[in-house]
Structure 1
Amino acid sequence: MNHNPERREIAIYSREELCGDYFILWIWDDELSKISNPGQFFEIRAHSSLHDAWDSQRIPKLFKPISVYDNSGGRIGFFIKNVGPGTSALARLKAGDTLELIGPLGNGFPIVKGRRVLFLSGGIGYPPLSYLQKELINHNLIFWSHGGASSADVFPCDEVWTVDGSFGKQGMVTEGMADLLLSKKIDLVYSCGPGSMLKQAAQIAAAHGIEHYTSMEAYMACGIGVCHGCAVPVGTDEDWTYLRVCKEGPVFNAADVLWSEL
């Protein structure tokens, strides 16, 4: 659910190092914790005072959209991969440094109970499903298949695929999806990851007539629906429109997305 988020300044209380280029920044905020839901995200950046100190490093001033990885008892975790100038600035942060953030933003995953669920994630698509799992685990049977480029992109789940074969099964995570739908008697899919993976997952779920909700990734400047830079086509070939990933999304019913235009 969208609301009217304000920009806040919150100190990082802990930083957790993960494998490869991944890390987690933890904050405490009871109010934000109560209104955040799985699949939503925050726009975050290092505090402007730190940007001034880092001026010679040409640190980007734009906020970065980061999904919520964990949220419990006032504690919120942002699971981040250092892949470019924006996230490299976040990677320099440590406990005690201050974040500027706006959120929670967007619409999250529908919470459905009493189903046989498949989680399908790729790369940095892992965090929002981890948060969702905590909300669903007591009410659903869940099987989680995750894919990454290599063993540096592997996180706790039921099945792992890596492109280079360095861990788990070799190939794309969608290669095993059809078999899982049948063998696990799946009747609901949640997915998050690169666009090409989501498109393949949507086609497979549709071919099996299975309900599928997907969290889409997109470049965005504002994060609040003003710039329309993150719009995706939804509808049919004959009747379609654009919806914004940051506002109407990032979670969509995969059957509504016009994948042929992506």
Structure 2
Amino acid sequence: MKDYQGYFIDLDGTTYKGKKQIPAAARFIKRLQDAGKCVLFVTNNSTRTPDFVANNLRNNHNINVTTENIYTTAIATADYLLSIAPIGSKVYVIGESGLKSALQNRGFIITDERPDYVIVGLDTSVTYAKLEKAVLLIRQGAKFIGTNADSNLPNERGMVPGAGSIVKLVEYATQQKPIMIGKPEAIIMQMALAKVQLPKEKVIMVGDNYHTDIEAAINVGMDSLLVYTGLSRPEEVIKEKIQPTYKVNSLDEWQI
């Protein structure tokens, strides 16, 4: 087993299950911190700010981290945009506070007046008017970016529509494929690697979902650790052509 210096870790299904704690995850993070490892939570959730995520981990899941340990698809989207567009570029956003604040913090201007980019993420208050505006702006020449392709997300009511469902609607109406940022795309992983300044050979991705967490690692050429505490099941994963580097039933099994 390699001596990994960095650990990218998924949240829901890996670190917790909704509001329910996963005690093994808290113990795992503590062992990583005690060993001096770099810990970065890499999540497709674009609605929450790093402050919110860090506070939730500290107050509700016994995981002592700061905003520097949080990397959301909102931040990855802003970082990616900063790599291809000048500060002050105009963007139209379908999304919530996490996405909007990440873009504004990088110097982008949110407007519906001739934006350079249309960015679509999860918006639980989305309306036809917002979607109509996004579609028309893309058809007029704005470049189309989607935060992530998750079709659903779990909550206490079940599997509700995710950001990918909204992105797909805009894609269908514009007949244009967006640049996608979140897992399983390589972009979010590349942005996260740049943040921690570690080579991919020294970092492992830890997650519960083969089709987001593990495929993201595969797509960027990183090792991966699949934990069976969330979405993916052993009988499903064994059928995949490319297997995770490691598989465990509980993060207590992992040797640092």
So what's the TM-score if we normalise by structure 1?
0.37
So what's the TM-score if we normalise by structure 2?
0.37
Q: Which has the higher contact order (CA 8 A, sep 6+)?
A: 2
Structure with the largest fraction of strand:
1
